[in-house]
Chains A and B, each alone.
Chain A
Amino acid sequence: MEGKGLLKELVRLPGGREILKCIQCGTCSGSCPMVEVMDYSPRAFFALIKSGQIKEAVRANTYWVCASCYFCSVRCPRGIKITDIMYAFKELSVKKGFYPKKEPTTKLYESFKEVIEKYGRLSEAKLMQRFAFKKPLLVLSKARLGLKLLLKKRIKFRVKPIKNIEAFRRVIQRTKELESVP
């Protein structure tokens, strides 16, 4: 996937053009709760893009670990909607399939999607079960907590799908069709 081409695409993303306004002040990074687990801080991430190192940028986990607290967006002196751009990146990377394989969040989100598409609602239990297939160790480490919650009656294993699950699935189906047409 060619960098320059992608940059054009990025700029076309909603709010994407704003990336070019960045003055690299670092307010975003200083405000970011997840910065410590990021390969590149949000600012550095933008720097990569502005300097054309797109491939390096998209390989970073930066946008995946964004917890979307929007602190950066609120504080950015250039008024850049950083969080939204992070979302755009996630979506793009899924579409293009170049997201960092080692990043567990991607798996978690996939499982999440599967669960709600199946039941219409989320169940932490089901989510964890599915997530377990993808990241067994990580989930195992949470077992003790699960037990504790169970004792507090705060886990339900049985989930019943929403009433109109059929209609709901139709909606999903229709959506997918709509997505396929550009």
Chain B
Amino acid sequence: MGQEPRIGVYICHCGINIAYKVDVEAVRDYASTLPYVVVARDYKFMCSNVGQEMIINDIRNYQLNRVVVASCSPRMHEKTFRKACEKGGLNPYFFQMASIREQVSWVHEDEVVATEKAKELIRAAVFRVIHHEPLEKRYVDINPNVLVIGGGIAGMQAALEIADAGKLVYLVEREPSIGGHMAKFDKTFPTLDCAACIMTPKMVSVGQHENIKLLTYAEVESVEGFIGNFKVRVRKKARFVDENKCTGCGECAKVCPVSLPNEFEYGMTNRKAIYRPFPQAVPNVFTITKEGWSPCRSACPANLNAHGYVKLAHEGKFEDAFALIMESVVLPATLGRACPAFCERECTRGEVGGSIHIRLIKRFIADWYYENVGTKPPFRVDELKNEKVAVVGAGPAGLSCAFYLAKEGYKVVIFEKEAEPGGMVRYAIPEYRVPKDVLAKDIEVIRNMGVEIKTNTPIGPDGLTIDELFAQGYKAIFLAIGAWKDRRLNVPGEDLDGIYTAIDFLRRVNSGERVKVGNKVAVIGGGNSAIDAARVAKRLGADVTVYYRRTRHEMPAFPEEVEAAIKEGIKFEFLTTPIGFEGNGKVEKMELIRMQLGEPDSSGRRRPVPIEGSNFKVDVDSVILAIGQVPDSEVFGKFGIKLNRDGTVYVNPRTLETSRKGVFAGGDAVTGPSTIVEAIALGRKAAYYISEYLKKGSLDDVNFPSSLPTVDKRRVLERRKVEVIPRVKIKELPVEERISNFEEVELLLTEEEVKKDSGRCLDCAICCECKQCVKACEAKAIDHQQKDEIIEIEVGSIIVATGFKTFDPTPLRRYGYKKYPEVYTSIEFERLNNASGPTEGKIVMKNGKVPESVAIIHCVGSRDEKYHPYCSRVCCMYSMKYAHLIKEKTGAEVYEFYIDIRSPGKMYEEFYNRVQEEGVHFIRGKVAEVTDVAERPEEEGKLIVVAEDTLTGRILRVPVDMVILSVALEPADGAEELARILGIAQDKDGWFIELHPKLAPVSTASDGIFLAGCCQGPKDIPDTVAQASAAAAEALSLIMRGKVEIESATSYIDPEICVGCMQCKSVCPYSAIDYDPSLGVCVVNEVLCKGCGLCAATCPNKAITLRHFKNEQIFSELEGILL
């Protein structure tokens, strides 16, 4: 403890802030009775010079060696009083502060209680200060870089001030351009000078200043550290345009097919998905709004960009649409007919008028292309490569894989056992669904890409082997042998004549054979091939019944196919299954048993179980078994390729590699019977991995390009009001015609219908990645793959200038905002009046007419306890600005409905007078409501503003053409989040709190963080700019100081006690503790130590003390409290 403590205690009245609750004299008298207290005084303002002098003199006169001040919070004046002690020749750490304002007088009602609490806190401080020790000062260097958050007028001003002083500024703005609200204004009050004329040059100089690092479309994610040394992480959102390459020419926007409400114009106009908020934007570059993938695209197994080609179709750009399709799938014309169209099931339009005819649009695009362009591939081979790849099987999977490899430049040969390529599509899908010539064109495109198809060349026993293929120099092999082997029932009589398997049956019909099915045909099964077989048999003139062992609900066949079958007069018998066939040589009778559904099986469907004794027989001429297929794959087993139990080929699910190196597999051969589009998807995936394999030899760290998250339909429907538009009706061949032939059932959409239906697209993802912009961009600036990037910066101080947003008056239903089109918010009117706004500055109504009378309603959302109790400060003035502009531009009658006119400011009152003299009607009364219900003839067709003229006591009904709501200012979105990140405080209304309203108006409670502009509270442009300069000055003065004093409270390890267990070392967040092996103890590196005290609390032996927060100091403080 050193020499005998001599303590001086000083109680501050803080004007009356403390004195009105705390009996300061009583407290002073009490303090003087405390141990070692030599002198105790009270004074009005201890923080004033006089107060400080008092301390300094007492130190000298009474040889004080300890000082306690009871006043505000240490955040406020601890530094002040420490300095005072220093001046008095005392080590500043011989000082302790008791907060009796923030912690007593301001928060407690009862005077007596408050006084008692004050006494205790002072007692605690006295007890504590006794144990204080001298510490030497510590300084840290100030990093001279500054971060400014927010690129509005405040942020720009601050940034320029600092940059001009030669210091580096990072300016972070979350919008694509700087400029903030002021960039939206046309004129500014009271001088009516044009905002653009002030803003544009400022914005340009910010954009070009060598000391300003501009980070637009970026947000601060986290801030660590202290005054002088902050570490900041900034997320730079992907704008999908290279800022350095983009020249701002705008060609991209011209071709972008997606438009949406323009936020900058508050939805009064539309913008494209690729956009620039306004022509003078800085940086003058474009940005793409991309919210992920549209549901249609995510739903597609091949992730085919339906959104994209639907938009292009709408624009009539069918050739580009075809190219876009071919980027993800082959056989577009086929898919346009026979695809289950998972996309349409997910289409958001489904909920508002029925999904878009995505499949038929694809069909139209393909047919159009073949008719108008031919079958040349829509894109060129990237660059030719030497490697050869063999593909086994010319079905959808094989063709797809081959096509995309060929596109990459590989030499690809397909080996097909059948006479014609196309696999199942060619041989199992009936003509009436996919005509052969259509498939032929689809395949022609693939051939033209350079793919060679060898038909009638099986691989296997009666052909080449895998080894031979490798021997012939093929570097990789893709197996796409499909699933052609029909499952069997294994019941008696299954081998009788007249019993076909579905695939075999369809194959024979599709090969042109006239199959005799007789009159009564039974089809067994519920899958797509069952339905196909049934409909084909129907067309062969038979009376067809489908027998399925489950119910319609469980049928795997596509609902629409089943529908069509029923339409065509095909009968269905559910919950029945054959248990045997009779007849001599040829089948005549079929015995069936009824089933009922039991427990769900592995497939999740309820397993059917036979009902005892429910057997019955039916007469049949032929039976078609369509109970599923499996790959015909044993032979490949022999080639050393691992197979699964069900005969499918085993592959690595990620890379599609088989057990044999260089051999890949996909399609039905891997998945079992599936859809065309799934096969094609696997084909393309295989192509990707094969190509990578051939380039890299290994696929360990290779991954198929990942998909984007799917956009949430709800959000899409909330974006704007969506009215219900029914889908275009499709025409079908009349039933009687169909069943007599194999003509295509579904008829084409006309070009008009395509354009109409595609026009219903809701642009779920906003950007549809149609790549038109890429095509249009000379500068090659667009990069749809761009990702968010995290930028780490280090600064010494931070200026927050995040501004405000305007109040949304929709909840104030009585003013009819959004109900009556001629009711505008003030900020909307700013745009309406702006020369570069939606009407080029003409003040006109939605119907184009000039308003003859306009009402301006003040205090909308301000001075209202239900919304914002505060006055928004700028509304009166801008309202009068509007009044002037409206008069000037239209000569309309203008009515200002106000409660009180607030025009405190240089030349403001004068402006008020001017507007009065211009003949604007000032009506003192808050508007009760705006209605369109006329009571008098002159009110017809107008908006009637109802209010009491409080000066005459009359109730007025003023008919007007246009109403402007002068809406309140509120804290910007995300203010709360930012407050948390920065550790600064918000007041009850959400504005950031300054350290002191008078003495430190732009500082915050966190040292080194300053405020500028409306984020601290509503204010006009002059005040904002002034505050911005002030904040800049604060930051600069900090920089000029070069270093800043920091807490000297660091940890110290007593080597006598330390056992070197290193627990402290393990917990220290700043790795400020090292182990000294020579001594076997831990040592604190004081430069790194930030004095949190974690180590001290952790040390099991209590070998660590945190200076100024030592145990005995805390303990004695406790005793002081609890005595």
Contact = CB atoms under 8 A, between A and B. Distances in A.
B327 interface: no
Interface in A30-73: 30-31, 35-36, 40-41, 43-44
Interface string A105-124: 00000000000000000000
A25 B924 CA distance: 8
A30 B925 contact: yes
B554 interface: no
Contact of B953 (A31, A44, A75): A44
Contacts of B866: 77, 79
A31 B953 CA distance: 13
B928 A27 contact: yes
Interface in B850-885: 859, 863-866
A24 interface: yes
B927 A30 contact: yes
Interface string A76-109: 0111000000000000000000000000000000
A26 B863 contact: no
Contact of B950 (A26, A75, A78): A26
A25 B929 contact: no
Interface in A1-38: 23-27, 29-31, 35-36
A75 B811 CA distance: 12
A140 B866 CA distance: 47
B899 interface: yes
B273 interface: no
B925 A25 contact: yes
B955 A77 contact: no
Considering residues B814, B864, B926, which has the most beta carbons from chain A within 10 angstroms of its beta carbon? B926
Contacts of B864: 77
A75 B928 contact: yes
A107 to B, nearest CB: 27
Contact of A36 (B865, B900, B955): B955
Contacts of A40: 953
Contact of B929 (A31, A35, A78): A31
Considering residues B865, B927, B928, which has the most beta carbons from chain A within 10 angstroms of its beta carbon? B928
A43 B948 contact: yes
Interface in B930-967: 946-950, 953, 955
Contacts of A79: 865-866
B100 to A, nearest CB: 31
A79 B924 CA distance: 20
Contacts of B950: 24-26, 29, 43-44
Nearest to B946: A30
Contacts of A75: 814, 928
Given A25-B925, A77-B859, A35 B899 contact: no
Interface string B675-708: 0000000000000000000000000000000000
B929 to A, nearest CB: 7
Contacts of B948: 26, 29-30, 35, 41, 43
A22 B929 CA distance: 19
Interface string B626-647: 0000000000000000000000
B865 A78 contact: yes
B865 A26 contact: no
Interface residues of B, number: 21
Interface string B584-610: 000000000000000000000000000
Contact of A29 (B863, B900, B955): B955
Interface residues of A, number: 18
Contacts of A36: 955
Considering residues A23, A25, A78, which has the most beta carbons from chain B within 10 angstroms of its beta carbon? A25
B953 A27 contact: no
Contacts of B955: 29-30, 35-36, 41
Nearest to A21: B865
Contacts of B947: 26, 30
Contacts of A35: 948, 955
A173 B924 CA distance: 51
A115 to B, nearest CB: 35
B865 A25 contact: no
A24 B925 CA distance: 8
A44 B955 CA distance: 12
Interface string B889-905: 00000000001100000
Contacts of B899: 23-25
B266 to A, nearest CB: 25
Given A29-B948, A35-B955, A44-B953, A77 B929 contact: no
Contacts of A41: 948, 953, 955
Contacts of B929: 30-31
Contacts of B928: 26-27, 29-31, 75
Contacts of A25: 859, 863, 899, 925-926, 950
A41 B951 CA distance: 12
Contacts of A31: 928-929
Nearest to A80: B865
B901 to A, nearest CB: 13
B925 A26 contact: yes
Nearest to A25: B926
Contacts of A77: 859, 863-866, 926
A37 to B, nearest CB: 12
Contacts of A24: 899, 950
Nearest to A29: B948
A26 B955 CA distance: 9
Contacts of A26: 924-926, 928, 947-950
Contacts of A43: 948, 950
A78 B867 CA distance: 10
Interface in B9-45: none
B859 to A, nearest CB: 7
B856 to A, nearest CB: 15
Nearest to B925: A26
A46 to B, nearest CB: 11
A35 B899 CA distance: 20
Contacts of B814: 75
A181 B926 CA distance: 44
Nearest to B926: A25
Nearest to B862: A77
A58 to B, nearest CB: 18
Nearest to A27: B926
A3 B928 CA distance: 31
Considering residues A77, A78, A79, which has the most beta carbons from chain B within 10 angstroms of its beta carbon? A77
A29 B814 CA distance: 15
Contacts of A44: 950, 953
A125 B859 CA distance: 49
A75 B924 CA distance: 17
Interface string B704-729: 00000000000000000000000000
Considering residues B865, B946, B948, B953, which has the most beta carbons from chain A within 10 angstroms of its beta carbon? B948
A27 to B, nearest CB: 5
Contacts of A27: 926-928
Nearest to A79: B865
B926 to A, nearest CB: 4
B931 to A, nearest CB: 11
A79 B928 CA distance: 14
Nearest to B923: A26
Contacts of B924: 26
A26 B925 CA distance: 5
Contacts of A78: 865
B876 to A, nearest CB: 14
B222 to A, nearest CB: 40
A23 B863 contact: yes
20 contacts: A23-B863, A23-B900, A24-B950, A26-B925, A26-B926, A26-B948, A26-B949, A27-B926, A27-B927, A29-B928, A30-B927, A30-B928, A30-B946, A30-B955, A31-B928, A44-B953, A75-B814, A77-B865, A77-B866, A79-B866
Given A26-B947, A77-B864, 8 more contacts: A23-B900, A24-B899, A25-B926, A26-B924, A26-B949, A26-B950, A29-B953, A44-B953
Sort A-B residue pairs by CB-CB distance and give the 3 closest, nearest first.
A30-B928, A26-B948, A25-B926
